[in-house]
Structure 1
Amino acid sequence: MDILETDAYDRRKRRNMSCALLVSLLPFFASTALYFYLWTPDSPASITSAGVKSAPILLLAAAVLSWNGGQSVLGVVGGLFFSAVGDCCLIWPEHFLHGMGAFAVAHLLYAVTFLTARYATYSSSSWNRFLYVILLIVGGGFYTYLYPFLQKAPDSEILTPAVGIYVFLITLMGILAIRTRNTATLLGSLFFMVSDMSLALQLFKVVAPMKHGNLIVMVTYYLAQLLIAVGDVKATENKDAFAKWKTT
């Protein structure tokens, strides 16, 4: 098999994999559509609403697990599982801190995953370092802006440092996503930050309740998780392809 035939074969293989990946994600898309169809602003907190909200993330975890196997349990699959736990907790306002803790674990698992050998590593460029600084400024600036509103919360003595730790972890996750230079992974981390910032601004009464506030939060959230999951699958594919190229 010559070089041109090998290249054509690899293109067909990538195309077939993309189609198979899309098929495996259909349950996620269907459950996401069901969530937006059933959700209303005055939906009561219940086991059913928690299940409908977390189902897309659990189905996404199952899809990643089917592609990457057990190696992803302590990585993106684990992060998705803890995200689903966080989704359930946030259904009940009194469990907000528990939900934030679950999402903090998810961000930590994502961050550790982005450091593994499955993601290609690159030497840090000046452009990367510039983006690191931008994210640090955004994360630190957002927490500073949020701080006075956290102080007004009834449980501010716990909430204020907890939110600070959470902001640090999601910012760290975003920085390590930049390091991977995986487009889907990077965009997923940025959409996650946008989703959480939108939620925090509304939850801590920084802005007046928005008509489509929940829609903004959940669209960016589901999109973030989808991109991180796809990025993880693609990272494994690209690593395998690179290893194959080195042995030829």
Structure 2
Amino acid sequence: MWVWLAISFSALLHINAAYKGPKWQFYLFKPLTTGLLMVTLWQHGLSHFYQQAIFVGLLCSMVGDIFLMLPRDRFVQGLGSFLVAHIIYSVAFWSQLTSSMVWWLPAMLFGGGVIVFLLLLPTLGRLVIPVALYIGMITQMAWAAGEFWLTTQSLMGAFAFGGALIFMVSDSVLAIDRFRGPYHSATAIVMTTYYLAQSLIVLSALMMASA
């Protein structure tokens, strides 16, 4: 219980600093929040492949956090770090399938991904291919999590799928803010949904540890 309060407080301090400063608080608490999620998972053990993959995905996410908050624009490097994180999360989710897949789910998810891409397309410029690859990968990650939930009908799968869907929302808002024009509430929405998504994915791994 206390660790989740610490994670929530750290996330809140980062979001507050994004609007009001100080800069050191902004730079400290963004990776620290992800780091606390890693420590939480580490303390519960990494005995299963699923837990190990989620831990490595969090590590890649922390690297992406650092790239995206640097004073100089490191958007492509941050995008690449999160792309790797989504690949690793996907492998973890696919490893948990216990029966045949459903095919209406990817149709819905990739349809949504195409809509977001078309919304961003006029302003992407030279980033068309990297952004398209990223949207495809995060959509595939959500598909993997959804199949995990649908085939297992488990709370663990539900946490994973919920986290993946919220991750898509977070990244969609981030992309719209960056490519379609910034707006004041974007940072709060992006970071709140981001930390919620990561927390749900970690909770899915913790449920395996307690099983």
Following superposition, the deviation at residue 29 of structure 1 comes to 2.1
Q: Which runs of 5+ in 1 are unaligned?
A: 1-21, 241-248
Contact 2:46 2:52 in 1 (8 A): no
Deviations for 1:63-90, whole angstroms, at most 9, x for unmatched residues?
Answer: 1122232545751111111111111111
Contact 1:74 1:109 in 2 (8 A): no
Deviations for 1:157-177, whole angstroms, at most 9, x for unmatched residues?
Answer: xx2211111111101100000
Q: Equivalents in 1 of 2:92, 2:42: separation in Å?
A: 14
Q: Does 1:31 align with 2:10?
A: yes
Q: Does 1:184 align with 2:159?
A: yes
Q: Does 1:132 align with 2:106?
A: yes
The one of 33, 50, 57 equivalent to 1:79 is 57
Bigger-Rg structure (1/2): 1
Give the AA of the match of 1:136. F
Give the AA of the match of 1:102. S
Q: Equivalents in 1 of 2:158, 2:51: separation in Å?
A: 22
Contact 1:51 1:88 in 2 (8 A): no
Cα 1:112–1:147 change in 2 (3 A) is same
3-state secondary structure, aligned to 1:69:
coil
Moved over 6 A (4+): none
Q: Which residue of 2 aligns with 1:8?
A: none
Contact 2:37 2:199 in 1 (8 A): yes
Contact 1:188 1:227 in 2 (8 A): yes
Q: Equivalents in 2 of 1:27, 1:109: separation in Å?
A: 26
The one of 202, 206, 210 equivalent to 1:229 is 202
Q: Number of matched residues?
A: 202
Q: Which residue of 1 aligns with 2:139?
A: 171
Deviations for 1:171-226, whole angstroms, at most 9, x for unmatched residues?
Answer: 1100000011111111100100000000101101x2x4322111111111111001
Cα 1:41–1:23 change in 2 (3 A) is closer
Q: Does 1:60 align with 2:37?
A: yes
Q: Equivalents in 1 of 2:188, 2:90: separation in Å?
A: 26
Q: Equivalents in 2 of 1:59, 1:42: separation in Å?
A: 21
Q: Which residue of 2 aligns with 1:102?
A: 81
The one of 169, 172, 189 equivalent to 1:197 is 172
Q: Which residue of 2 aligns with 1:211?
A: 184
Give the AA of the match of 2:143. I
Q: Which runs of 5+ in 2 are unaligned?
A: 150-156
Following superposition, the deviation at residue 123 of structure 1 comes to 2.6
Q: Which residue of 1 aligns with 2:154?
A: none
Contact 1:184 1:228 in 2 (8 A): yes
Give the AA of the match of 2:61. S
RMSD: 2.1
